[in-house]
Chains A and B, each alone.
Chain A
Amino acid sequence: MSLDELYKEVILDHYRTPRNKGRLDPHDVALERNNPLCGDEIELFVRFDGDTVEGIRFEGKGCSISQASASMMTEKVEGLTVKESGALADSIKRMMAGEEEGDVETLGDLVSLKGVVKYPVRIKCALLGWNTFLEALQEGGKA
């Protein structure tokens, strides 16, 4: 996939119209993380219902890749169990590390993040939301 397509089709869509943007109240975990090198910022709010990620919202500012990736993530993990969502985050991290192909069936739009792999300095932008989410699972005592 060319950079052009990657940005235009999926990432720009989520960047312009982010899903699940805003605070979530009440929440079980609120976690703010940034990318010190770039200034990308994400604040993630997560609410659990037992072992399910019942609600997730984010606030943030930064480049299109960081914000779009977080937007896509919230869409995907909401309603999944902690185990499923954690496994998905791990799988995205492996895909971005080039260790895993990334399956269109399971990942859907998220596969578009793979286009970032060939721009190594941008990978940390794409993973900011996901790493924050994995931390949020830990903080919530879920992982």
Chain B
Amino acid sequence: MVSLPLDVETLRKDFPVFDTLARGKRLVYLDSAATSQKPHQVIDRMVRFYESENANVHRGIYELAERATIAYEGARESCARFVRARSHRSIVFTRGTTEAINLVRFTWGRANVHAGDEILLTEMEHHSNLVPWQLLAQESGATLRFLPIDDDGRLRVDLLGDYVTDRTKLVGMGLMSNVLGTINPVRTVADAAHSVGARIIVDAAQAAPHLAIDVNELDADFLAYSAHKMCGPTGAGVLYGREDLLEAMPPFHGGGEMIREVYPDHSTWNDIPYKFEAGTPNIAQAVGMGAAVEYLEALGMDAVREHEIGMARYAMNALEAAGAHIYGPKDLSERGAVISFTLGEVHPHDMATIVDQEGVCIRAGHHCAQPLMRRLGVPATARASFYIYNTPEDVDALTDALEKCKEWFA
């Protein structure tokens, strides 16, 4: 056994899903990089909202509507604190990371990226931080460039000088890779971007559940994260934006709430962040996201990170002993506990189906990062990703199931 900083046995009781079986066996959930499980503290908070606080936000005069607004805005404060944002005004609620990134594409992007400009991404981006910029490049005439990775899945920051030019307008990068687990040196890239007057948008969907984030330390201009990967519900996410940038940006969707005054032929806009929140938001989900932040804060993000380093160490050793080839950095200080691997000639889909028979949930495929898979030279990998509720026993269940794969394909 390895010593772990979280009391996982007690913590697992917070997650009702672990009372259920998978294929009649103990549920071994190793797909938290896709979405995390939810503790009852989050589920109950959303139920309580619907049962005793439900009204539309920011509009009603009555007390119930006040309660709804207080819950919603309280969640915004929690989400601001979670990434050390200086003000709630920097926190726009979205339906997730993808919408947050697209918001920047349609507002800041359209206003600031023009023909001849360059958008710098990395070779390891998730499609959600790639395709929006492809679309912007196509409509604006801008060029996309990609900062390469080395064979261990680390960004070639030594090449920044070649890739950040006076034509660079925007740099987009993930804080943690959802395939390789690599934790990227965002601050180094941000400094390079800022030195030429470019802005940087950080996709923190994979990092936020696992790392303490400080937008000021990262010097991020924009940063996006989702509730559902960090113990919260689907349908809620955050765009953090520097206040002065948000102030200067045109609105995203038009509709109620985002306006100040409306005339037949024109309107004026609400203050930030409301300018970017047209229509009735996903109120209960935002409230649930706030509860998820509080749940993680109570555990302590440093303890979460330490637990995951322990899990990654145990899992990487066990997988290597089982004969798996692991992608991404070997140094645990440079990676999270999301582990992509292949096992000899066993195709990842066959692997996922076979281990599923043992109640083990892993992901197989391209993990929404097709350019990265091409760079790695594999059509697909298997991926086991670990979170606060995983134990070494889960790893053992996986490696036992992998033995079955090997028997079948021997």
A residues adjacent to B (C-beta < 8 A):
3, 7-8, 12, 37-41, 61-65, 119, 122, 125
Instruction: Give the distance in Å from the alpha carbon of A92 to the alpha carbon of B370 in the complex.
Output: 30
A12 touches B380 (CB 8 A): no
Please name 8 further chain A to chain B contacts, defined as beta carbons within 8 Å, in addition to the given A3-B353, A37-B365, A65-B349, sorted by A numbering: A38-B349, A38-B365, A38-B366, A38-B379, A40-B349, A41-B379, A65-B350, A122-B353
Flag whether B218 is at the interface (Cβ < 8 A): no
- B50: CB under 8 A from chain A? no
Once the chains bind, are A64 and B365 in contact (CB under 8 Å)?
A: no
Per the bound structure, the CA–CA distance linking A7 and B349 in Å amounts to 13
Q: How far is the CA of A61 from the CA of B379 in the complex (A)?
A: 9
* B347, B348, B357, B366: the one within 8 Å of A3 (CB): B357
CA distance A79 to B357 in the complex (A): 38
Residue ID in chain A nearest B380 by CB atoms: A39
Please count the residue pairs between chain A and chain B whose beta carbons lie under 8 angstroms apart in the complex.
42
Q: Is the CB of B365 within 8 A of A63?
A: no
Which chain B positions have C-beta within 8 A of A3? 353-354, 357
- List the A residue with the shortest CB-CB distance to B409: A12
Q: Which residues of B contact A40 (CB under 8 A)?
A: 349, 379
Residues of chain B lying within 8 A (CB to CB) of residue A8: 408
Whether A63 contacts B408 by the Cβ 8 Å rule is no
A63 and B347 within 8 A (CB): yes
User: B408 and A125: CB pair below 8 A?
Assistant: no
Which residues of A lie under 8 Å from residue B373 when comparing CB positions? 39
- Sorted nearest first, the 10 A-B pairs with minimum C-beta distance are A39-B379, A63-B349, A63-B347, A39-B380, A64-B350, A63-B350, A38-B365, A38-B349, A119-B353, A39-B366
Q: How far is the CB of B355 from chain A (nearest CB, A)?
A: 12
Contact across chains for A39 and B365 when beta carbons are under 8 A apart:
yes
B24 CB to closest chain A CB (Å) equals 13
Question: B347-374: which residues lie under 8 A (CB-CB) from chain A?
Answer: 347-350, 353-354, 357, 364-366, 373
User: Which residues in B have their C-beta under 8 angstroms from that of A65?
Assistant: 349-350
For residue B365, which residues in chain A have a CB less than 8 angstroms away from its CB?
37-39
The CA-CA distance from A62 to B373 in the complex, in Å, is 14
Question: Contacts A3-B353, A39-B366, A122-B349 known; A62 to B379 CB distance under 8 Å?
Answer: yes
Bound-state Cα–Cα, A63 to B347, Å: 5
Contact of B380 (CB < 8 Å), options: A38, A64, A119, A122 = A38
* Chain A positions within 8 Å of B347 at CB level: 62-64
CB distance from A3 to the nearest CB of B (A): 6
Q: How far is the CB of A48 from chain B (nearest CB, A)?
A: 31
B 58-113 contacts with A by CB, 8 A: none
Q: Which residue of B lies closest to A61 (CB)?
A: B379
Q: How far is the CA of A123 from the CA of B347 in the complex (A)?
A: 16
Interface centre among B379, B408, B409 (most CB of A within 10 A): B379
A97 to B354, CA, bound (A): 22
A to B CB contacts below 8 Å, 25 in the list: A3-B353, A3-B354, A7-B350, A7-B354, A8-B408, A12-B408, A37-B366, A39-B365, A39-B366, A39-B373, A40-B349, A40-B379, A41-B379, A62-B347, A62-B349, A62-B379, A63-B347, A63-B348, A63-B349, A64-B347, A65-B349, A65-B350, A119-B353, A122-B349, A122-B353
| The one of A7, A38, A62, A122 that contacts B408, using a Cβ cutoff of 8 Å | A7
Complex Cα distance, B348 from A39, in Å, reads: 10
B 316-332 to A, binary, CB cutoff 8 A, 1 in contact else 0: 00000000000000000
**Which residue, A3, A8, A64, has most C-beta atoms of chain B within 10 A?**
A64
B-chain residues with CB within 8 Å of residue A122 when the two chains form the complex = 349, 353
Which chain B residues lie closer than 8 Å to A37 at the CB level? 365-366
Interface centre among B347, B357, B364, B408 (most CB of A within 10 A): B347
Q: A108 to chain B: closest CB distance in Å?
A: 23
What is the CA–CA distance of A61 and B357 in the complex, to the nearest angstrom? 24
Residues of A within 8 A of B379 (CB): 38-41, 61-62
Bound state CA distance, A39 and B380, in angstroms?
7
